[in-house]
């Protein structure tokens, strides 16, 4: 699990404002997830500079505290920066009563309409009985605060959880299948778009994938020197490029599949587990139609869970997930489950991410991304190599 860095500021309880004379930045390293980090004992704070020398991070935390007080009437006692998330700055909040919250600060105002639609989709799912974190409205009853210094969303906190990334074992497979089935059943009724059947061959564009891989390989080849991960990524890109002929044959064999409004980013990190139950599904995207089979296999074939379980144990878990999903979403056509592994194999092999990260987004490359890239590539090749056997086992289970 990725190392997380936490920056922490104390709040002056007598004024309900950040106490600049008390302001501290405490940095600690652990292997906890976003949902559990603030449950851990804090290390001893390290004194920061006085007000004139405050860092930009300290000023941001001050702005977060101001916004919480003015927009939400919430008086924070502790604010913990969580260095996760690619498009938001995330914070864990403890108010003066000890209640915990989660804040997402949006780095730009350019896409707030889409962000609001994402929060609305999460609320729509929650209203239908899906386990999600609840957004907390501002004093003006808005889902996102946009009037103050920082655009942000405030969420209820889901304590004592871990993500589903690399942790799907035993009874968790069926629990995840049930939660995902309930989610898709609810989203099938979303007013944005009714479910339709579309050609499965359109799951991914092989011609476009060939172009992407060719450009990526050339970009690596033109670099004067490659690091260890870049050398591996170049080799993996060549392997994926060579497999695109197989992908074309897989896509040609697909029937029509369901396209409907989906979560949009339903992967292991966005499913919070508490023991063997799903505590919450988080980080929705805006309501956008997509292939149901892809969202099923994207979560069910979580690369780190595949590798940590071993293929045979993972396959047993995946079939448990599929059975539970079918019970929770009986209206979904059977083909969406039966052909999900084929869809996942094609889509994973067509994707250049995260092999492309060192070229296109080098700032996000770290040990966690490198580990994920290797696991995702290995899982994709496993699906391709063993697809007939895996599909036969899945079909036998779902008959």
Question: What's the pLDDT tens digit per position in 245-263?
Answer: 999 999 999 999 999 999 9
Residues constituting the chain: 399
Continuous H helices in 68-205? 112-127, 172-187
Whole-prediction pTM: 0.84
For the chain, give the percent of residues with pLDDT over 90.
81
138 compared with 46, residue with greater pLDDT: 138
For the chain, give the percent of residues with pLDDT over 70.
86
At residue 191, the 3 state secondary structure works out as coil
Question: What's the pLDDT tens digit per position in 286-333?
Answer: 999 999 999 999 999 999 999 999 999 999 999 999 999 999 999 999
Question: What residues does CATH 3.90.1200.10 cover in the chain?
Answer: 163-398
| Domain covering 4-159 in this structure, CATH number | 3.30.200.20
Place of tokens 């070229």: 359
Mean pLDDT of 36-56: 38
| Residue burial 56-95, b: 16+ Cβ < 10 Å; e: rest | eebebbbbbbbbbbebbebbbbbbbbbebeeebbbbbbbb
Return d(Cα 49, Cα 25) in angstroms, integer. Answer: 9
Mean pLDDT of 28-42: 28
- Which two structure tokens, joined as six digits, stand for 262? 């989906």
Mean pLDDT taken over the chain: 87
With a CB cutoff of 8 Å and minimum separation 6, the contacts of 84 are 2, 4, 34, 90
Return d(Cα 137, Cα 72) in angstroms, integer. Answer: 7
At residue 189, the 3 state secondary structure works out as coil
**Pair 359, 221: CB distance under 8 Å:** no
We find that the CATH architecture of domain 163-398 is Alpha-Beta Complex (3.90)
Question: What residues does CATH 3.30.200.20 cover in the chain?
Answer: 4-159
Confidence of residue 54 (pLDDT cuts 50, 70, 90): low
- Which two structure tokens, joined as six digits, stand for 107? 């780095």
Confidence of residue 1 (pLDDT cuts 50, 70, 90): very low
């Amino acid at each position: 699990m990725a190392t997380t860095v936490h920056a922490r500021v104390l709040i002056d309880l007598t004024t309900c404002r950040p106490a600049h004379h008390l302001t501290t930045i405490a940095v600690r390293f652990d292997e906890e997830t976003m949902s559990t980090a603030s449950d851990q004992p804090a290390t001893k704070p390290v004194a920061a500079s006085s007000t004139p020398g405050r860092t930009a991070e300290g000023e941001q935390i001050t702005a977060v505290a101001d916004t919480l007080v003015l927009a939400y009437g919430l008086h924070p006692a502790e604010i913990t920066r969580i260095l996760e998330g690619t498009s938001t700055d995330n914070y864990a909040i403890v108010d003066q009563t000890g209640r915990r919250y989660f804040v997402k600060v949006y780095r730009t105002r350019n896409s707030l309409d889409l962000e609001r639609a994402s929060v609305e989709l999460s609320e729509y799912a929650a209203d239908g009985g899906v386990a999600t974190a609840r957004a907390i409205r501002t004093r003006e009853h808005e889902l996102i605060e946009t009037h103050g210094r920082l655009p942000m969303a405030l969420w209820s906190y889901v304590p004592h959880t871990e993500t589903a990334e690399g942790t799907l074992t035993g009874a968790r497979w069926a629990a995840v299948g049930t939660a995902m089935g309930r989610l898709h059943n609810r989203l099938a009724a979303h007013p944005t778009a009714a479910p339709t059947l579309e050609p499965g061959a359109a799951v991914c564009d092989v011609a476009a994938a060939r172009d992407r891989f060719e450009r990526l390989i050339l970009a690596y080849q033109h670099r004067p020197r490659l690091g260890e991960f870049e050398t591996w990524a170049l080799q993996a890109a060549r392997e994926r490029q060579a497999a695109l002929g197989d992908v074309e044959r897989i896509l040609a064999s697909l029937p029509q599949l369901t396209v409907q409004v989906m979560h949009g980013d339903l992967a292991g990190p966005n499913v919070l587990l508490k023991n063997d139950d799903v505590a919450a599904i988080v980080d929705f995207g805006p309501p956008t139609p997509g292939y149901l089979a892809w969202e099923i296999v994207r979560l069910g074939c979580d690369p780190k869970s595949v590798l940590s379980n071993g293929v045979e144990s993972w396959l047993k878990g995946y079939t448990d997930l599929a059975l539970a999903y079918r019970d929770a979403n009986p209206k979904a056509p059977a083909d969406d489950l039966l052909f999900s592994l084929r869809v996942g194999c094609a889509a994973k092999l067509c994707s250049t991410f995260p092999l492309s990260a060192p070229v296109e987004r080098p700032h996000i490359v770290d040990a966690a991304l490198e580990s994920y890239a290797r696991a995702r590539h290995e899982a994709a090749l496993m699906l391709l190599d063993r697809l007939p056997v895996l599909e036969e086992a899945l079909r036998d289970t779902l008959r």
